[in-house]
Structure 1
């Protein structure tokens, strides 16, 4: 059982800049434990937000995608995985038949301009990311 007060959580695992994968994993594990709690106290919510920000900073620095090294389909697959989406979710997002999501991810069909704009808006990226040919 995790404490409810921010100070007690900090005493258990002080938040600090993540410098390596081991600390990243430890922090991610604590986030997972906090996420299983149905209703957070104010202290738990503040602590969780602090840990999430530390993980995001580490991921931005150490796990960033290199857009120029990805094909458009690879970039799309990476974003879908990051957002825990699958081919069916992609089809719903684009407003196309369910089988089209799979065909797009296999490279059997091409994204339209409308698709590019929807994806860019949804993921907060530039449409060009999905048309690179690396």
Structure 2
């Protein structure tokens, strides 16, 4: 198994091509091809974390996304945020989330706390 560290964008692209080819083969996990795939994926993940990090989403967008996923309405957020007008203030970026709201949203909706504490995008 010939695997080397990913140090450049060219190495990264080559590793992605190799992963694509191995995924098309659908190797058994305990096979040499499966071990190669696992090693390449681990190297690509490490490279991406270092060179292509993904910023956490905007807190309001994270809440709206979770609402859409779960089919929730503003009324459903009242136990987590407060009265309906407060929910709309948050969703319309008129008011910032408080720490207790962040905790309740994290526990109640499973939104990562890192996403909820990120700096929100200013209202248009």
Say whether residues 1:119 and 2:111 are aligned partners: yes
Distance 1:45 1:61 in 2: 25
What's the counterpart of residue 33 of structure 2?
Answer: 44
Runs of 5+ unmatched residues, structure 2: 73-89
Q: 2:8 aligns with which of 12, 17, 20?
A: 20
Distance 2:46 2:5 in 1: 9
Distance 2:12 2:49 in 1: 12
Distance 1:59 1:45 in 2: 21
What's the counterpart of residue 62 of structure 1?
Answer: 51
What's the counterpart of residue 91 of structure 1?
Answer: 68
Q: How many residues align?
A: 92
Normalised to the residue count of structure 1, the TM-score between the two structures is 0.51
Deviation, 1:73, is: 5.2
Deviating above 3 A after TM superposition, structure 1's stretches of 4 or more consecutive aligned residues are 89-92, 107-117
**Residues 11-42 of structure 1: CA distance to partner in whole angstroms, max 9, x if unpaired?**
xxx21111111110110111111111234361
2:49 alignment partner, SS class: helix
**Residues 33-54 of structure 1: CA distance to partner in whole angstroms, max 9, x if unpaired?**
1111234361111111110111
**Residues 83-128 of structure 1: CA distance to partner in whole angstroms, max 9, x if unpaired?**
xxxx6x9734xx325xxxxxxxxx96789755534122xxxxxx14
Say whether residues 1:72 and 2:59 are aligned partners: yes
Distance 1:38 1:59 in 2: 23
Q: Which has the larger radius of gyration?
A: 2
Runs of 5+ unmatched residues, structure 1: 1-9, 77-86, 98-106, 121-126
